[in-house]
């Protein structure tokens, strides 16, 4: 009897290939590059309806992220959700808490929730306490500086041994409580965000060099945490945040990135922050400054120009990435600060905050001095198109440039966006920069 040849298998029936496809099916969408919070499971949901095999391969990816604002709108029966609750790894609970309490996913790795939600009750704090030992990511928002973190909620936050990312917003946390929280997750914590947090003092972060400093404190390091794996620190410096926040980098020897959202400096000495970063964070190479807008600072808050520039000049000697806004265009102090980092600077993002001109001559100095630049983003540059000729007068030093974005180039003379790109590309080819992958489409020439 002749042997029959096996029936050929289509590539889209091979589980390993389907798994790769599932990883690249878009789950989030946004209108700009920075917003990754909008979830759209419709593509994955369509995939699980193709066949039984596709259902099995794509289902874990559909439930990996559960955003109750989105999944709730799909009106799935609760028995279906319970059946697949073991697949949920990251739960965004910002609409209602009852579903989370009903499901109680046993393999949860990430949780983002807000205690102001209707229906929040002690059961949620017990759930935090129950699953805390396995969490890798936690975002917990409170009602404001008047609400203290305590009881079961505090106990849960003090027992997160495998936590890698912690974001706390709008809480009052005592020094001892914050020290306990950081001690509990210090072994693996790599990202920490403290936004509008009050109640703690400088002794949460080790020896203090002020009037209350003592040798005894220096000899007892076991009383304060050492965040040896923390790479990213984000802080909101506003009228609620504890002034002691600027001392937090003392306990972050591996810190690489600092992100600051600043509303005022009455209580925050940014000069001290720069010195602390320089002395205690030898690996720091990225600084992001975002001005906060409020009734008090309707045009955004910026410190004195010399202090502002010193943040980028004195905090580290090897700055690789700088993101900042310019309140009055590029001044001499900030230009000097950025040029002082020319030997290491690889990415720079500048934005004019108050409808002033960025100053093309200063941008040329940066392009001509920073040989290692790979990404240049200029937002709301407000430069007339005639300055483009000035930009193209000399070769740029950044031979490794890969991304160039300029927003706000135009003077009402009808210079077309395509013309801007063609002229820039021509100049880059002459300068040996023909490998640039991204010349932004956001160049405006009105």
Tokens of residue 6, six digits: 């096996």
Query: How far are the Cα atoms of 15, 24, 282 from residue 54, in angstroms, in the given order?
Result: 8, 15, 49
CB 268 within 8 A of CB 243: yes
CB 115 within 8 A of CB 143: yes
**Rg of the chain taking only CA atoms, in angstroms:** 26
| Helix/strand/coil for 214 | coil
| Helix/strand/coil for 348 | strand
**What's the confidence (pLDDT) of residue 330?**
87
DSSP string, 382-413: -B-TTHHHHHTSS--S-TT--EEEE--B--SS
**What's the confidence (pLDDT) of residue 370?**
92
CB 40 within 8 A of CB 73: no
Q: Of 364, 339, 385, which is closest to residue 431 (Cα–Cα)?
A: 364
**What's the confidence (pLDDT) of residue 432?**
60
DSSP string, 270-331: HHHHHHHHHHH-TT--EEEEEE---SS-TT-----HHHHHHHHHTS-S---EEEEEEBTB--
Cα separation, 305 vs 72, whole angstroms: 48
Pick the CATH number of 319-446 from 3.30.230.70, 3.30.365.10, 3.80.10.10, 3.90.1860.10: 3.80.10.10
| CB neighbour burial string for 211-223, b if at least 16 within 10 angstroms, e if fewer | eeeeeeeeeeeee
Cα separation, 390 vs 371, whole angstroms: 19
**Residues contacting 141, CB < 8 A, separation 6+:** 113, 114, 115, 116, 168, 169, 170
Cα separation, 133 vs 12, whole angstroms: 39
Domain boundaries, the chain: 319-446
**Residue 402 half-sphere exposure, CB side, CA atoms within 13 Å?**
6
What is the residue whose two structure tokens read 């690489």? 256
Per-residue pLDDT of the chain (446 residues; tens, 9 = 90+): 566 767 777 778 888 888 888 888 888 765 554 445 677 888 888 888 999 999 999 999 999 999 888 887 777 788 888 899 999 999 998 888 888 888 889 899 999 988 877 777 777 788 888 888 899 999 999 876 667 888 878 888 898 999 999 999 999 999 889 989 999 999 999 999 999 999 888 766 755 544 344 444 444 444 677 899 999 999 998 888 888 899 999 999 999 999 999 887 667 889 999 999 999 999 999 999 998 776 555 667 888 899 999 999 999 999 999 999 988 888 899 999 999 999 999 999 998 876 777 778 888 889 889 999 999 988 888 777 677 777 777 777 887 888 888 877 665 443 445 555 556 666 666 666 555 555 554 444 33
Phi, psi of 86 (to 5 degrees): -70, -15
Query: How far are the Cα atoms of 157, 182, 248 from residue 224, in angstroms, in the given order?
Result: 16, 9, 11
* Total H helices, total E strands in the chain: 16, 14
């Amino acid at each position: 009897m002749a042997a029959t040849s096996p029936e050929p298998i289509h590539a889209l029936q091979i589980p390993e290939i389907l798994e790769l496809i599932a990883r690249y099916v878009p789950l989030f969408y946004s209108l700009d590059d920075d917003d990754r919070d909008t979830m759209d499971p419709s593509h994955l949901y369509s995939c699980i309806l193709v066949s039984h095999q596709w259902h099995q391969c794509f289902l874990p990816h559909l439930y990996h992220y559960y955003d109750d604002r989105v999944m709730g709108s799909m009106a799935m029966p609760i028995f279906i959700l319970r059946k697949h609750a073991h697949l949920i790894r990251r739960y965004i609970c910002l609409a209602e808490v009852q579903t989370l309490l009903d499901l109680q996913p046993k393999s949860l790795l990430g949780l983002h929730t807000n205690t102001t939600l209707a229906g929040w009750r002690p059961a949620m704090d017990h759930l935090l306490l129950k699953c805390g030992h396995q969490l890798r990511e936690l975002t917990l928002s409170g009602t404001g500086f008047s609400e203290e973190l305590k009881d079961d909620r505090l106990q849960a936050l003090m027992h997160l041994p495998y936590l890698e990312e912690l974001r706390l917003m709008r809480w009052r946390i005592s020094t001892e409580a914050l020290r306990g929280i950081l001690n509990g997750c210090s072994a693996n914590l790599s990202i920490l965000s403290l936004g509008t947090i009050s109640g703690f003092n400088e002794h949460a972060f080790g020896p203090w060099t002020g009037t209350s400093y003592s040798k005894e404190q220096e000899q007892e390091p076991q009383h304060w945490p050492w965040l040896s794996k923390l790479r990213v620190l984000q802080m909101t410096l506003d009228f609620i945040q504890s002034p002691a926040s600027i001392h937090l980098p003392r306990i972050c020897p591996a810190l690489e990135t600092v992100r600051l959202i600043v509303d005022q400096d009455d209580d925050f000495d940014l000069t001290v922050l720069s010195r602390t970063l320089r002395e205690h964070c030898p690996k720091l190479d990225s600084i992001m400054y975002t001005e906060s807008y409020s009734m008090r600072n309707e045009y955004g808050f910026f410190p004195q120009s010399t202090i502002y520039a010193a943040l980028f000049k004195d905090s580290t000697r090897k700055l690789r990435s700088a993101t900042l806004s310019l309140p009055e265009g590029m001044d001499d102090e900030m230009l000097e600060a950025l040029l002082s980092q020319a030997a290491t600077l690889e990415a720079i993002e500048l934005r004019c905050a108050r409808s002033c001109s960025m100053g093309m001559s200063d941008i040329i100095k940066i392009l001509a001095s920073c040989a290692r630049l790979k990404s240049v983003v200029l937002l709301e540059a407000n430069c007339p198109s005639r300055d483009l000729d000035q930009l193209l007068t000399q070769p740029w030093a950044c031979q490794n440039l890969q991304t160039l974005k300029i927003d706000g180039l135009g003077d009402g003379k009808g210079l077309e966006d395509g013309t801007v790109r063609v002229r820039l590309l021509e100049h880059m080819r002459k300068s040996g920069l023909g490998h640039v992958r991204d010349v932004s489409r956001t160049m405006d020439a009105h």
